[in-house]
Amino acid sequence: MSEPSAAPAALPDEAPQPVALALLACVFVVAACGLVYELSAGALSSYLLGDSVLQFSTVIGAYLFAMGVGSWLSRYLERQLPAHFLRIELLAALVGGTLPATLFLINAYAPDAFRFLLYVLVGLVGILVGLEIPLVMRILKRRVQFKALVSQVLTFDYLGALAVSIAFPLVLVPHLGMIRTGLLFGVMNALVAVWTLWLFRHELRRLRAHGLACAGTLGILAAGFALAERITTLGEEKFYQETIVFSADSPWQRIVVTHGNGGYRLFLNGNLQFAQRDEYRYHEALVHPAMAAFGAPRKVAVLGGGDGMAVREILKYPSVDSVTLVELDPQMTTLFRQHPQLTALNGNALNSPKVRIINRDAFRWLEEDDDYFDVIVVDFPDPTNFAIGKLYTESFYALLGQRLSASGYAVIQTTSPLIARRSFWTVDKPSRPLA
């Protein structure tokens, strides 16, 4: 990594401001890229390992610690700072940009090593990102007075982080997916290296070698971007051991539908939700006892259950006039309203004129809605994290009781008292007053 010693070109205080502005723009991009890599690692570990609070906490902690290590190591880079910065950008582009794809493949082909390699990659990316800002500040020091230097660098750094923190869940992941998002920002990191190559072309040694490194890095990332769908499919087919029929990232979860010998299966964040072969046992047991106990229910609500299977069973009762389905994720209800094979599974229930779909958080909907229902079917995933856990609280069940008509019934899926004992008793204890 060392280069022949050479005194950096002397740059007077009145050096052109556009160069300083270009470097500050690089700070904005560098901050955005670094945060995307961090968020990608946290989101993927949450998807694949569960317990989002634990995963995000440990990933962020490890990442920030590694950034501190990188900042400390930057003191040992003394000469040819633009050359060091360029190389670090290319390494960050390669390691950070391919991080989501690498983690996907590790989970599929070496799941036992996933947790260890996750933190190795997070640590490596954190060190590289931690090296970037100190180097930029030292390069800018030749053009900007120190008093303005710190405030300007930190301003652009925080603005880049703000932009990505908003765009990542609302725009990037839903439209590009996790792998393409990582690769896109890897390309942006590499373009910062190209920009650095241009800005300091008169100061850099081995200009041709640096140019080839930039071109090679961009080529690798561009190829990965073009093959992102194939990489995702390859990893998921290995993990699920079945053909992937549909997969998508929503702001709330990773949705995967597979097809194999047992028919179709739905996975949310890697957890099985139903299998075509035996889903009727679950949905019939969930719906029919409460419906039969009421007698002739007219108004029914389903909370969760975006696959429409519970709605399918409810519509078998001629007395039902309306079904209100409250599902947080619109991607789920759209999928099970439009996909031909999946609408065949739920009997096209979600397109029934009796069904009204509301894509909202069920807790907030219960707080704000003033309607009453004869039967309410609660079909949520197991309370494996804090986001879902609020739907298994006494506050939630109290709201549920307020939405029941006289002699109304609420039925709640409770998973297995043998396999998931804590989840079962979490549901059983507060729900008994509703019976």
The pLDDT of residue 320 is above 90: yes
β-pair partners for 248? 255
pLDDT digits 0-9 by tens, 161-201: 888 888 888 888 888 888 899 999 999 999 999 988 988 88
Q: Do the Cβ atoms of 105 and 234 come closer than 8 Å?
A: yes
Place of tokens 């950096």: 8
Q: What is the pTM assigned to this prediction?
A: 0.70
Architecture of domain 279-434: 3-Layer(aba) Sandwich (3.40)
Give the dihedral sign, CA 105/108/112/114: positive
How distant, in Å, are the alpha carbons of 93, 359, 410 from that of 402? 53, 21, 11
- Contact predicate 362/304, CB 8 Å: yes
- The string of pLDDT tens digits covering residues 382-404 is 766 666 767 777 788 888 888 99
Residue 255 parent element (H or E): strand 254-260
- What ranges do the domains of the chain cover? 17-236, 241-275, 279-434
Written as six digits, the tokens of 152 are 């300007």
Q: Diameter of the chain by CA atoms? A: 89
Q: Classify domain 17-236 at the CATH superfamily level.
A: MFS general substrate transporter like domains (1.20.1250.20)
- Model confidence at 87, pLDDT cuts 50, 70, 90, reads very high
Catalytic residues: 379
Residue 198 near residue 167, CB atoms below 8 Å:
no
Average pLDDT of the segment spanning 102-129: 91
**In angstroms, rounded to a whole number, what is the distance separating the alpha carbons of residues 412 and 125?**
44
Characterize the bridge pairing of strands 355-358 and 373-379: unpaired
Q: How far apart are CA 344 and CA 348, in angstroms?
A: 6
Which homologous superfamily does the CATH classification assign to the domain defined by 241-275?
Answer: Spermidine synthase, tetramerisation domain (2.30.140.10)
